[in-house]
Amino acid sequence: MSIEVAEDLQAQFNELNNAAFYILGEGSNTVFLEDYQGTVIKPAFMGIDLEYTETHYRLKVGAGENWHQLVLWCMQHQIYGLENLALIPGTVGAAPIQNIGAYGVEIEQFIYQVDYYDLSEQSHKSLDSQGCEFAYRDSVFKKRLADKVVITSVTFAVPKNWQAVVHYGELKELFELSAIDIFNKVVEVRQSKLPDPAKIGNAGSFFKNPIVSKDLFGKLQQTWPSIPSYPVDTDKVKIPAAWLIDQLGFKGKKIGGIGCHPKQALVLTNDGSGTGEQLLQLARTIKSAVLSEFSIVLENEVRLIGKNGPVIL
Ligand SMILES: Cc1cc2nc3c(=O)[nH]c(=O)nc-3n(C[C@H](O)[C@H](O)[C@H](O)COP(=O)(O)OP(=O)(O)OC[C@H]3O[C@@H](n4cnc5c(N)ncnc54)[C@H](O)[C@@H]3O)c2cc1C
């Protein structure tokens, strides 16, 4: 069921009569393991409204807009800041849910307000950036408000005073610091590194990068001196899940039609013949191998949906 007008939400949900439903953007962070029996709701609210404040560009964007097209639109209108997040698949409405991030930037830096329809209270509401409780690949929409709201629009505040963010990965190679150069580089690197989901089925990073205590990290360093990490706070570090999976030799391994990508260990692919059962098997095998070798519990970033709703890995 596609919903184009936010004011129609109440009537449309009343029609469901408490039957099961799943809200779907473009499905790039969702894997349907089998045929879902509930109703799929597709928020299709469109439009970009641009306002200017003294210091910021303020963009109110419909939840159904495509994320990359928004980044492109900003580049065309000389609004710079979102270029590091180019080519992330999916909708604008899903972006705050897991606080999308790439190349040293997370969307929380630019969120001014998220407008949503609260299904339990049956009213339209808003949250500012602080109210969204953003964290790494996380927000209030994955916790307290999970599956209880429909995001209708997101308002971004992009500073007019643009600052390049090039401390991450291949962006360090850039000498020319224009936003367009960063945009082009991000697109080039992403296209060369990540399988295109339109050609090879995949949902991007399957697992989140685990955040562990410095204590555990110190112990792991004794066995794995080259284990990489990024600081989180005074007590914790983040470890790339791809590195952990790679150490255990999973790259290129397959169960039926589901494989661990030969170049990017964090991406599980489907050659077209894979089943939901095979995906669960491979993901669970990786998860338990990482637990037994590193004492780290991997969490899936991707949402897994079975016949009757969410499936726990
Ligand atoms: C090749 C590839 C690369 C990727 N790279 C990155 C990356 O670099 N960084 C990153 O952060 N992510 C990345 N992802 C993950 C994905 O792009 C993001 O999670 C994106 O925000 C998902 O958007 P979507 O519209 O497809 O969401 P969906 O998969 O449709 O939905 C995701 C979740 O949001 C909910 N939802 C969607 N729309 C709404 C709405 N309007 N209201 C309420 N709930 C809603 C759904 O119920 C679901 O829980 C990648 C994915 C792929 C396939």
* Statement to judge: residues 85 and 164 lie in one domain: yes
What pTM value is reported for the model?
A: 0.95
Among 42, 66, 87, 97, name the best residue to mutate to test ligand 1's pocket (greatest count of ligand atoms within 8 A of Cβ): 97
**Three-state SS for 165?**
coil
d(CA 234, ligand 1 centre) in Å: 30
Give me the average pLDDT of each 10-residue run along the chain (313 residues).
87 87 96 96 97 98 98 98 97 98 96 96 96 96 96 98 87 81 94 89 95 97 96 95 98 97 95 97 98 97 96 94
Longest dimension (CA), the chain: 60
Q: What is the CATH number of the domain that holds 246?
A: 3.90.78.10
Looking at residue 268, its pLDDT comes to 97
* Statement to judge: residues 129 and 168 lie in one domain: yes
| Ligand 1 environment, Cβ below 6 A | 22-30, 43, 63, 88-91, 93-95, 97-98, 100-102, 149-151, 194, 197, 202-204, 303
CA–CA separation, 49 and 71 (whole Å): 14
Q: Assess contact for 125 and 112: CB atoms under 8 A.
A: no
* Statement to judge: residues 183 and 80 lie in one domain: yes
The total of structural domains in the chain comes to: 3
Q: What is the CATH number of the domain that holds 171?
A: 3.30.465.10
d(CA 54, ligand 1 centre) in Å: 32
Query: Domain range spanning residue 142?
Result: 48-190
Looking at residue 50, its pLDDT comes to 98
179-193 vs 67-76: helix crossing angle, rounded to 10: 150
* Statement to judge: residues 186 and 210 lie in one domain: no
* Statement to judge: residues 80 and 207 lie in one domain: no
Looking at residue 176, its pLDDT comes to 67
CA–CA separation, 305 and 35 (whole Å): 9
CA–CA separation, 148 and 144 (whole Å): 8
| Residue of the CA atom closest to atom 11 of ligand 1 | 100
* Statement to judge: residues 180 and 215 lie in one domain: no
| Residue of the CA atom closest to atom 52 of ligand 1 | 204
CA–CA separation, 2 and 92 (whole Å): 16
Boundary-marking domain end, from 131, 163, 190? 190
Q: Assess contact for 68 and 85: CB atoms under 8 A.
A: no
